[in-house]
Chain A
Amino acid sequence: MEMTRKERIDRGIKVRTEGIYAISSWEEVLYLAGPRLVLILGLLSLPLVLQVAPYWKRVVNITCIYALLALSFDFLANYVGLVCLGGAFFIGVGGYLSAIFNVYLGFPIYLSIPLATFLGAILCTFVILPVLPLRGVYFAIVTLMYPLLFTRIIEAFNILGGTNGIAGVESFPSPWVEQYLVILITLIALFGMRRLVNQDIGLVLRGVKDNDQSVRASGMNITSLKAFAVFIASLIGCFGGAYLAHLYMWAGISLFALDFSIIPIAAVVIGGGGTLTGAVIGSFILVPLSEFLRFAGTFRIVIYCVILTAVIVLKSEGLMVYFQRKYHQRERWVKL
């Protein structure tokens, strides 16, 4: 039998364009900028295209929130090594804070969202701070417990509107603001994050993931590095929560729901962990899919989980890594 193996070679154009930003031909410029432009323009034009289907504009907003959560999960899990199963915690804190500012304290919307985002991120960081030294399973368990704990506390003490939640949160001045705010923030978060992980601090964070003892031995404080990463991730998550509270004009314990923890993880796994873009793409696949499956009720979650498990077991690299490989490399079979 003839033995062959698959050989993967970088395309010439990739070798020329990688890291060298001297423009030598329009082809190479397009090669680099093409995928990014498709994503940016595609996202920006979504509200215009969906003028014909107003219901789906709302779906795009929700999808962007999930994309933000997926970004923060991907960042924490694949660049810092903290598996945070509590995306719902960020959403809940952001949403409740924003509702408190808006309803109880009477702040206008353009103050309550940024305030809730920043204070929420600080709050989340402080709550997570004591468990930061934990690793792996232990950290995952604690972050899974936090949203549950806060739900039960709100129920038990009957504070913040109890099980009814806080109603009467101000809505956005116009649907265009509502739509473009979240799309722009998603894009900024995505490209800002990609920058961040390639800066020095990003390298150090990856060092924390791979071998925290050696980072520690280099005289760097791991806990403060991790706290910084959690702050960035919860900033993104809390914005999602604050936005969601204003979108629904309501904040309640369903902001701590399991959906906000499980769907972003599924999105990251399907999109490709560690690529950041994959997180956004994954949520733009999964969330609309769940709208199509709305008739199936809770069976949606079953479908999600089956997809999730299948991808983890059979194709753990994810879509984005796969497409990147196809885009950048040629493949051929060679004889041994």
Chain B
Amino acid sequence: MELLIYGIINSITLSLISLGFTLVYSISRLPNFAHGALYISSGYLVWTFLNRVGLPYLPSILLGIGLTSLIGAGIYRFILIRIRGMEISEIIATYAIGLAIIEGLRWGGLRGMTFTLPSFVSGSVRFLGVGVDYQRLFVVGIGLITFLLLYLFTHFNKIGLALRGIAQNERAAMMLGINSDMTAVISLAIGSGLAGFAAVLILPLGSIIVETGYNVLIFAIAVSIIGGLGSWGGAIVASFIIGLAQILTEAFISSHFQMVIALLAIIVTLILKPSGIFGRQKELEERV
């Protein structure tokens, strides 16, 4: 029972982490390799507002998430817009930006002492005989609400519908007057905002460490590859697969193997079925 509950919590954490990455890729076909960096920088921003500037918790969270999505939008508006469509350059540029942010944080701020964010409400509750603290319940609850809101946003809102239009058929959408660059800016802003949001929710469970940035990127890639790049339902299913697999390996083998599982899952999926579990079949695009 404990395994199951913690597995589910872990899975929802993973899907929150990878939601932003999947969203950006599905809408504008940009592999945002700076995702992990945005995640960790949002945590750092919130910490700075909270401890250095001395703002209360809620405003600093909002400011942190807002700034992160501004950074994301800025990355597209000033850098990626010039190299859109050149796959190699996109990968290298986003990867370089991510590295720059992460290593910059390591150099400039995140070292020496440990950085932690306080949890929203401390304490824990017994749930089906398993002790779960409130923060984890928050993660699950807010995670589910976020999925629901995103679904509503993309199905019943003009901007959301425009984003989906671009994702489905860019040329046709542009003919109907949807601005491709504008939607890409919006998608990157939302994606980075989601990364920041996930960071704010999840980081209180541990401390802010720079290496988390790399791990988050790997997990985000793992989840979205296994679920099929660009497929949201697939991403959620995939995060449950990986999340449960991780908890099981941790319980029965050793925690060293957690990352091995994620990496092996990526490679095996790409070899067997690169479009992922729920990816639409795009054989010619992704493999010869």
User: Interface on A for B, CB 8 Å cutoff?
Assistant: 77, 83, 85, 130-131, 133-138, 140-142, 145-146, 148-149, 152-153, 155-156, 212-213, 216, 222-223, 258, 262, 265-266, 269, 296-299, 301-302, 304-306, 308-309, 312-313, 316
Contacts and interface: CB of A to CB of B under 8 A. Distances in A.
B259 interface: yes
Nearest to B284: A213
A83 B91 contact: yes
A152 B256 contact: yes
A305 B103 contact: yes
Contacts of A302: 99-100, 103-104, 107
Nearest to B99: A305
B288 A309 contact: no
A260 to B, nearest CB: 14
A131 B286 contact: no
Contact of B288 (A133, A141, A304, A312): A133
Contacts of B257: 152, 156
B79 A131 contact: no
Interface string B264-288: 1011001100100000000011111
Given A77-B88, A305-B96, A305-B103, A316 B266 contact: no
B92 A265 contact: yes
28 contacts: A83-B87, A130-B271, A133-B288, A134-B270, A134-B274, A135-B286, A135-B287, A137-B31, A138-B286, A140-B91, A141-B225, A141-B266, A142-B266, A145-B267, A149-B260, A149-B267, A152-B260, A216-B288, A223-B288, A258-B99, A297-B107, A299-B104, A299-B108, A302-B103, A302-B104, A304-B99, A313-B79, A316-B83
A234 B263 CA distance: 22
Contacts of B83: 312-313, 316
B221 interface: yes
B106 interface: yes
B270 A131 contact: yes
Contacts of B95: 85, 262
Contact of A136 (B87, B218, B271): B87
Contacts of A83: 87-88, 91
Contacts of B254: 156
Residue among B31, B100, B107 with the most chain A CB within 10 A? B100
Given A148-B259, A302-B100, 10 more contacts: A133-B287, A136-B286, A141-B225, A155-B256, A156-B260, A258-B99, A262-B99, A297-B107, A299-B108, A309-B79
**Which 6 residue pairs of A and B lie closest in terms of their CB atoms, listed nearest first?**
A305-B100, A156-B256, A305-B96, A301-B103, A149-B263, A133-B287
Q: Which secondary structure characterizes the binding site on chain B?
A: helix
Nearest to B111: A298
Contact of B218 (A145, A266, A306): A145
Given A135-B287, A155-B256, A141 B100 contact: no
Contacts of B107: 296-299, 302
B207 interface: no
A308 B92 contact: yes
Contacts of B103: 298-299, 301-302, 305
Contacts of B284: 213
B51 interface: no
B193 to A, nearest CB: 22
A130 B87 CA distance: 22
A304 B100 CA distance: 8
Contacts of A269: 92
B82 interface: yes
Contacts of A297: 107
Contacts of B88: 77, 83
Given A136-B87, A142-B266, A301 B286 contact: no
B93 interface: yes
A49 B207 CA distance: 51
A308 B271 CA distance: 31
B89 interface: yes
A212 to B, nearest CB: 5
A66 B267 CA distance: 27
A121 B269 CA distance: 24
Contacts of B260: 149, 152-153, 156
Given A141-B225, A142-B270, A312 B92 contact: yes
Contacts of B263: 145, 148-149, 152
B79 A152 contact: no
A65 B64 CA distance: 42
B100 A135 contact: no
B97 interface: yes
Interface in B70-109: 79, 82-83, 87-89, 91-93, 95-97, 99-100, 103-104, 106-108
A308 B99 CA distance: 11
Contact of A134 (B96, B100, B106, B286): B286
